[in-house]
Amino acid sequence: MADFMYVALQGDDKIVRFTLDPATGDLAPLGDIAVPGGPAPMVVDPAQRVLHVARRGECKLSSYRIDQRTGDLSPIGTVSLPTDPCYIATDRRGRFVLSAYYEGRGIAVHPVGPDGAVADPPVERRETARGAHCFQTDPTNRFGFVPHIAGRGPNEIWQFRFDQETGHLTPNTPPKALPPGEVGPRHYCFHPSKDIVYFSNEQGCSVTAYRLDTSAGTLSALQTVSTLPKGYKGQSSCAQIRMTPSGRFLYAPNRGHNSIASFAVDTATGLLTPTGHTPAEPVPPRLQPRPRRQVPLRRRAGVGPADRLSHRRCRATRTAQDVSRRHPADVGLDHPAGRRPRPLSPIRS
């Protein structure tokens, strides 16, 4: 039985639906869903039953019920936003939708209703600073982190306590974690079994591993490793970051060098060792390893092949199949009913 994949085409005001063969990674188109207002960042809820979509052109946040048999989407709710979010997620229980606003200089927490639809008003709307790029809760659902890039942002990671019952946020002590230099933290992911968080650094073209104090909810830097090859002098920046569910490998795309950097993760310490680079199409900002399979999905800015992971070599190799000849803005995955090895974290803006 195939999984479902959703590709947001922001400029075409639609989401393209595919089946993804879990054995081969092959894609088969199933049709389009009209989503006016520039659909971009998306997230599937932990129960794999609702797709939340930010419509950046109209500054709205919409929820769609996922048909567990066909993968079709049915609208179930929409709320208006003061500005367009660059990133959305749910908390670990799927009771709240979290959003970050790059130009809006802040974050918000919207409740999710009994039907799974996002609701108004938000329980939190907090001003942080320009360049807020991501907002997630930790695996315990008690803490949240908001990275801000450097240059056009303050080069900081804001730290919050999160009340999973009410969705309210409280600034932690200290309220900010400072990166090792002007590296510009952008996105992050959690190790599946260790108290370590990995941040991609947009301006630093690197990945920084932070120790997570699970009692205090605070971060301290452990290691920073470049995502670029030695000797590379061209312009580049780092975007998304993903770890395989096994915790053995980590990947980060380079925009400018146009590659996916691969890292092996030490099973004892969680520290990173670079293992190479796989060429990609221009400006590869996002990718998503598929749980328990060797098939990642990568959003690209143009025509080109999909990528396949080799877990034996900790490298990405390329297939010949195009996801879309348009300009996809986001990608999401959903397992059909009865086949959910673990909740997925779809690719977001």
pLDDT on residue 188? 98
What the block records as the tokens of 6 is 């959703």
For residue 339, is it within any domain?
no
Residue where the block lists tokens 């999401």: 332
For residue 254, is it within any domain?
yes
Element (H, E) at 196: strand 196-201
> What are 111-156's pLDDT values in tens digits?
999 999 999 999 999 999 999 999 999 999 999 999 999 999 999 9
For residue 344, is it within any domain?
no
Cα 293 off chain centre by: 18
Burial degree of 220 (CB within 10 A; 0-12, 13-18, 19+): exposed
Contacts (Cβ under 8 Å, ≥6 apart) of 211 = 195, 196, 219, 220, 221, 222
Query: Between residues 24 and 195, which one has the greater pLDDT?
Result: 195
Q: Which of 37-51, 237-251, 296-310, 326-340 has the lowest mean pLDDT?
A: 296-310
For residue 342, is it within any domain?
no
pLDDT on residue 320? 41
Calpha distance 345→349 (Å, rounded): 12
For residue 136, which phi and psi values (nearest 5 degrees)? -135, 165
Q: What is the mean pLDDT of residues 324-333?
A: 52
> What are 297-322's pLDDT values in tens digits?
444 333 333 444 544 444 544 444 44
Strand partners, 242: 251
Of 119, 199, 178, the closest CA to residue 108 belongs to 119
Query: Between residues 25 and 256, which one has the greater pLDDT?
Result: 256
Q: What is the mean pLDDT of residues 4-21?
A: 89
Q: Which domain holds residue 122?
A: 3-334
For residue 345, is it within any domain?
no
Cα 174 off chain centre by: 25
Calpha distance 18→333 (Å, rounded): 10
Calpha distance 297→317 (Å, rounded): 12
Calpha distance 64→322 (Å, rounded): 26
Of 13, 40, 52, the closest CA to residue 330 belongs to 40
- In the chain, the number of structural domains is 1
pLDDT on residue 349? 30
SS3 163: coil
For residue 208, is it within any domain?
yes
- What are the Cα distances from residue 252, in Å, to 74, 101, 243, 260, 332? 33, 22, 9, 6, 18
Instruction: Output the domain CATH number for residue 242.
Output: 2.130.10.10
Burial degree of 127 (CB within 10 A; 0-12, 13-18, 19+): exposed
For residue 348, is it within any domain?
no
325 pLDDT more than 90:
no
For residue 349, is it within any domain?
no
Helices H / strands E in the chain, number of each: 0, 29
The answer to whether 53 and 87 have CB atoms below 8 angstroms apart is no
Of 214, 118, 133, 126, the closest CA to residue 168 belongs to 126
